[in-house]
Amino acid sequence: MPEDASDQVDAVLFIRALHNLNRFTDEESPYMSDTLAETFRVLKPGGIAGVVQHSGPETNSDDWANGSNGYLKKSAVIAAFEAAGFEYVGSSDINANAADVPSEEEFVWRLPPSRSGTEEGSPERAAYDAIGESNRMTLKFRKPA
């Protein structure tokens, strides 16, 4: 982002995007940490960063929840934002879906609307359709004033 954008932005939203940034390690390419650093830079003091992200079970392994399956752990997202200097403000269950509890063999795209990996009319497709869309965390962070 342009240098003159520092401390100029009121809010930044990350809507189902963080898994794409997080699935590469910082050694390979620091997409997540670089993006959060740039977000922090451009936000005004007191500015807000909002997150809606597919939320994986905290009990699943960190390797599974690295973003490559579409899911991240809430604890990992909060830790990443706090490491970038943000204050965690809180969360909402508005996008939660308790029926979506993926195993370590499953990925988010098995669910509607993608329905990847299942055939129309199959019992697997019906089971995933019954779950509905993914369980999503909705988080709010603030750049300290």
Supply the pLDDT for residue 68.
95
pLDDT digits (tens, 9 = 90+) for 26-65: 677 789 999 999 999 999 999 999 999 999 999 999 999 9
Sorted by where each begins, the domain ranges of the chain are 3-101+135-142
Beta strands in the chain (DSSP E): 9-15, 43-54, 87-92, 136-142
pTM: 0.94
CATH, domain range 3-101+135-142:
3.40.50.150
Would you say residue 12 has pLDDT above 70?
yes
Residue among 56, 61, 51, 58 at smallest CA distance from 71: 56
The pLDDT-based confidence of 141 (bands split at 50, 70, 90) is very high
